[in-house]
Amino acid sequence: MMLAGNMFGGFFSYQYKTIGNSDPNVNNDLILSEAASVSGIVQFITRLSIGALYDKLGFKLIFIVLMVINTANAFICYHVRKIMWLYIVCIELNYVVLAGIFALFPAPAIKTFGPKYGPQVYTLILLGAPASSILDMINIKVLYDIIGEVPILAIGGVFSILALIVLVSFSERLDV
C-alpha cells in the first residue's frame, strides 16, 4: 500500500512545475515555487493531525480518504493546470496525501505487531516509498517520451486504486 499510494504523489511532486509550466499561457514558475514552499506548512499540519484523526477514525477510513484524494488528483491535475489556484490546490493536496501516508502507518504497525516487531515491520513498509521512486524514475526515463504526462499521471491514479483494493482486503485488525 505504501508503494501504490506513493506512485502518483512522488511523480507529481517531481513534475508539478514541468506540468504547470507546460502551457505557455500559464507559465508561472514563481507561483509554483511559492506553492511548494507552502507545502512544507501543509505537510507539518497534516502530520500533526493524522495521529488525532487515527485515534478517532481509524486507519482504513483515513487511508481511503487519502487514496480517493490521490486518485482524483491524478486524473484532474493536468487538466486544471490552466487555472492556477486550482492547480495549486492539487499541489497542496498531493503533499497532504504524501505526509498523511507516512504519518499513518506507524501506529497500526505497532498495534498489530507489538512494540517489539512493529518498528521492524514499519521499516519494511517504508521500503515501498523508495520502490515507488524507482518506478517513477523508470516512468520518467522510459515512458515519458513515449506516452507523455497524462498517461503517466493516470498510471499513478490506477496505483492509488490498487492501494484501495489491497486495503479493503485487510481485516479491521489495522484499527485495533
Helix or strand holding residue 102 (H, E): helix 84-104
Q: What is the C-alpha separation between 169 and 147, in angstroms, rounded?
A: 32
pLDDT surpassing 70 at residue 172:
no
Which residues contact residue 125 at a Cβ distance below 8 angstroms, ignoring those fewer than 6 apart? Answer: 1, 2, 105, 109
The per-residue pLDDT for 176 is 47
User: pLDDT by residue (tens digit) across 99-135?
Assistant: 999 898 888 888 888 889 988 888 888 888 888 888 8
CATH of domain 2-164: 1.20.1250.20
pLDDT surpassing 60 at residue 39:
yes
Residue 117's Cα: distance from chain center in Å?
26
Burial 99-137 (b: 16+ CB within 10 A, else e): bbbbbbbbbbbbbbeeeeebeebbeebeebbeebbebbe
User: pLDDT by residue (tens digit) across 47-91?
Assistant: 999 988 988 998 889 999 999 999 999 999 999 988 889 999 999
Grid cell 522510459 is found at 142
Which residues contact residue 115 at a Cβ distance below 8 angstroms, ignoring those fewer than 6 apart? Answer: none
Instruction: Return the DSSP state at 26.
Output: T
Taking the model in full, what pTM does it have?
0.88
Which residues contact residue 169 at a Cβ distance below 8 angstroms, ignoring those fewer than 6 apart? Answer: none
User: pLDDT by residue (tens digit) across 74-85?
Assistant: 999 999 988 889
Give first-to-last CA distance, the chain, whole Å: 18
Residues 138, 143, 145, CA angle at the centre, nearest 5°? 125
Average pLDDT over residues 157-174: 83
The per-residue pLDDT for 132 is 85
Residue boundaries of the structural domains of the chain = 2-164
